[in-house]
Structure 1
Amino acid sequence: MSVFLIFVSFLLNIVAFLAIILLYTRQNRLMNIEKKQEKVINDLEDIISSYLLEMKEENEQFMKQLENRSKVENKDDRQKQPNSSKQDDNESTQAVINTRATAYQMNRMNANKAYSKVFPDTVDDNENNTQLPPIRTEEENTDDSLENRALLMHRNGKTAEEIAKLLGKGKTEIELLLKFRQNK
């Protein structure tokens, strides 16, 4: 009888050790999965933060270019009409307001584009259906013949790449021009 009890005790000890080993391996697998997920999350955060920094730098460069362009335009306008300083001040103020509004719209557009790349299922299609504004006359802007041609080609269904090739300009320049005109 004692041999039987020793055998049962021995069997119970083996079962207990097997259960402990099984639980330990499952716990290690769970911990390894958690570590992998943390690593993936950290990598994603790094990628997104670097993308946002790059986008911020591009926006700052774009803002500087807009400011330089508006300064040059304001300087040219003041040289042309030195007697009408109040009108120049109003026009320069309006130009600054327009450039800031345009920069805000460009930043918003870039943010929407980045968001749509990360979360493509949540993008509202109605947001992308903006209409192009009417083309300005030559009296309003004498340097928009390229702009007019690009917009006309875009309205006729040409892509930004095709327009860039036809006009001899860069694809990015044409894309910015079209986006800039859509948000005005």
Structure 2
Amino acid sequence: MTTLLITISLLLHAFTFLWILTLMRQQSHHSKEDYDHLKSEIEDLLVSYTIEMKEENEQLLKRINEYKDSTANEAKLVSPSSVTKQKHETIEQFEEETDKYKAYHPPIPNLEEEDEDMYQQSDTTKVIILSKQGLSPEQIAKKLNLGKGEVELMLKFYR
């Protein structure tokens, strides 16, 4: 009886292995098709983007050429005397601006104001300094008008 059960079990195992192999082959076949489809979609997108970029570049080149042609025509129409007059005006404006900058003298800071802007130590740094000097947390709290628990917390965070 056991031999019959073992043979049936072996046959079922062989059947499941074959079934798993066929499923794996189908899956790999589908994934290859998906990969090929995705690849062709990406290629199509890239081609369409490059065509679009070419068209935009051609339009830009046309605009640049039109602008060059229009400025060349305008330059021919402008008289040389008006150009020199404009140059003189811009030079004068530039000289006026540079004179303004040369005439500027920055304000001299007041020494009394500097004393007010001096660096003030935070409570945490004061606590750490006093702790390094050997004071106990109670003494530091009294000296800085802080709570004992607050001073102990600052010292714990520092350590």
TM-score range, shorter chain: 0.3 to 0.5
The TM-score, its normalising length taken from structure 1, stands at 0.40
Q: Return the TM-score normalized by structure 2.
A: 0.45
